[in-house]
Chains A and B, each alone.
Chain A
């Protein structure tokens, strides 16, 4: 860490004329920079070998009525998710142009298009100026996160067209899929260009489910935002609510009691367990191995029924609150959890042995949908997808939250980046998760389960938090407004960074393998579209 500080000092020296101001907020260094200088400094942080800053999130906030300006934030994770660094630049009211960093940092591609749609700010030099969130029928000038855009505006449908990237040539066909898919899946549009069987290009078009979550947060108070956070993505209800709670807790300087932290860890791992078990079955089913699906969906149901018995909700909703937990578990319940997870461990081990000796299954999974390490790094991929492509990144170990600092987590990493690697990451994580749950149940400290906030947040103060949900790193930024309300809440589901990476993993594969590759990523549409 000492070296890192030295390197940072060096950058500050190099750019000392360009850094207007710097401060530490909640322990995170924040540098204020003129908008013209952003691309140069961002590229330096991204490309310097000793820093290797990954762009983790880029977002804007309309600071009105506090200040008549928009501020754009760039969050970098240095050296594989260790230290955070934030660059910030202000755009005065009426100034609609900012310099795009996408030509230097590929990961910024969707973020900048999102900022353009939500705030009407134009990323100058961005290679793709099409709309992202606002579909073609949105009225002109409807930039929903601007403060002068009422949250309950009734929008009129307008006519418009969306141009897809096209590949032309002899024998090249386009295959449009969606937004409504066969099976019980969320809506999204995939457009394949194929020549014969192999995919030449895939363009993913999302945001069909855009519900205005970030705008709706601004109607809620800091304390009540949890209920909306739970509905960002149903399968990650607990992960999102935990991430939101932690951001608000850091903002209100709440010290969460140890028992609450252990309980949170326990529930987060239970969520990981039921999702991973379900995914293993679903991936095998997409390779026409229905036996695994039958067993896995049975085990998944067993865990969800356990969730229901413990908390009264199958998706673990309504148990998190700012300051701790709204629900306690007694020792008898902990014993039940221990017994059930041990049963599932044995059950699942038998199944995984069956899976690994099945040659026809392995044949389908191996070398299918390879996401190269370089591509994954360029996209800033997170979670299971990153760990299957040789990127050793896990928030639980790199920036410990809740009780993870005391638990010494093992992080499985695989090199090949194919469907089988992603399946194996999940299988290894299932065993690790069960071991974590066992340790928590045995080491659970006694004491209170929630604490009250000690301070009131001033308008403009903010908190930031990261949680390793079962899909990957969830980020949440909460800025306080007047009277304990939320001024701005930015949520980044891991799906938002992994979706664009999927476009590259499918290249050269055949269309019938796409469902399999897509399932091995298993990304959220709701969390992406917000």
Chain B
């Protein structure tokens, strides 16, 4: 017990110890921001992988670690699309995952904010036109926010989500 407490005290608080994102924040259209308004300061996200290389997933996971701790901004990862306000979709949509993606979209309650994470989700990246890929997310679902990068760094994802949630840059509730 004492070892655990000692270790925690020795490390102290690590939250926020990361370099600030140097990338421009993706633009969020007014209708998309209006979709998020009813959720106020919280956003429940369901992550759907439709064929990414797993790097985007790792960065989404990193958002939840003590250093980024996205929960402090009200961002939660939920286990079912039925609990989700927003879907984060990674990877080009593969021929095998297309139906599953549409099923998820159907079961998500409105207003369904769709976020395409990573270059593959935005324009299929290197997998463009492959026989096994049916196109970027945009071809199948209306996309609200695009977060570019291969993969985008967690700080960039956090910036983009903050912009979506309408937090002004430099305000107390942001980063």
Q: Please say whether chains A and B are actual partners in one complex.
A: yes
Which residues of chain B have C-beta atoms less than 8 A from A399's C-beta?
none
Q: Tell me which of A184, A185, A227 has the highest count of chain B C-beta atoms within 10 A of its own C-beta.
A: A184
On chain A, which size bracket covers the interface? 35 or more
**Which residue in chain A gives the minimum CB-CB distance to B131?**
A153
Interface string of B51-65 (1 = CB under 8 A from A): 111111111111011
Determine whether the beta carbon of B51 is less than 8 Å from that of A211.
Answer: yes
Q: Chain A interface: which of B24-32, B89-97, B136-144, B160-168?
A: B89-97
- Cα-based distance from A150 to B129 in the complex (angstroms): 11
Determine whether the beta carbon of A216 is less than 8 Å from that of B60.
Answer: no
Determine whether the beta carbon of A526 is less than 8 Å from that of B58.
Answer: no
Q: Is A93 an interface residue (CB 8 A)?
A: no
**Which residue in chain A gives the minimum CB-CB distance to B48?**
A180
Determine whether the beta carbon of B4 is less than 8 Å from that of A179.
Answer: no
Assuming A210-B132, A211-B132, A305-B19, is B57 touching A185 (CB within 8 A)? Answer: yes
Interface string of A143-182 (1 = CB under 8 A from B): 0100001111111000000000000000000000001101
Min CB gap B65→A, angstroms: 4
Which residues of chain A have C-beta atoms less than 8 A from B49's C-beta?
180, 184-187, 209
Determine whether the beta carbon of A314 is less than 8 Å from that of B153.
Answer: yes
Determine whether the beta carbon of B96 is less than 8 Å from that of A144.
Answer: no
Min CB gap B86→A, angstroms: 14
Min CB gap A158→B, angstroms: 11
Q: Chain B interface: which of A58-66, A122-130, A350-358, A416-424?
A: A350-358
- Cα-based distance from A304 to B133 in the complex (angstroms): 30
Determine whether the beta carbon of B100 is less than 8 Å from that of A187.
Answer: yes
Determine whether the beta carbon of B54 is less than 8 Å from that of A186.
Answer: yes
- Cα-based distance from A182 to B49 in the complex (angstroms): 11
Determine whether the beta carbon of A155 is less than 8 Å from that of B95.
Answer: yes
Determine whether the beta carbon of A315 is less than 8 Å from that of B132.
Answer: no
Determine whether the beta carbon of B62 is less than 8 Å from that of A301.
Answer: yes
Assuming A135-B96, A180-B48, A211-B133, is B126 touching A231 (CB within 8 A)? Answer: yes
Q: Is A232 an interface residue (CB 8 A)?
A: yes
Q: Is A233 an interface residue (CB 8 A)?
A: yes
Within 8 A of B (CB), among A209-236: 209-212, 215-216, 227-228, 231-235
Q: Is B85 an interface residue (CB 8 A)?
A: no
Determine whether the beta carbon of B131 is less than 8 Å from that of A294.
Answer: no
Which residues of chain B have C-beta atoms less than 8 A from A235's C-beta?
54-55, 58
- Cα-based distance from A295 to B12 in the complex (angstroms): 11
Min CB gap A487→B, angstroms: 18
Min CB gap B135→A, angstroms: 10
Assuming A184-B77, A315-B151, A525-B54, is B130 touching A208 (CB within 8 A)? Answer: no
Q: Is B66 an interface residue (CB 8 A)?
A: yes
Which residues of chain A have C-beta atoms less than 8 A from B95's C-beta?
135, 137-138, 155, 210
Assuming A211-B94, A305-B18, is B66 touching A184 (CB within 8 A)? Answer: no
Q: Contact residues of B with A, CB < 8 Å?
A: 3-4, 7, 11, 14, 18-19, 47-62, 64-68, 77, 79-80, 91-92, 94-97, 99-100, 104, 125-127, 129-133, 150-151, 153
Show 11 residue pairs from A and B whose CB-CB distance is below 8 angstroms, ordered by the A residue: A152-B131, A180-B104, A185-B57, A186-B54, A209-B50, A231-B53, A234-B151, A237-B55, A297-B66, A298-B14, A301-B65
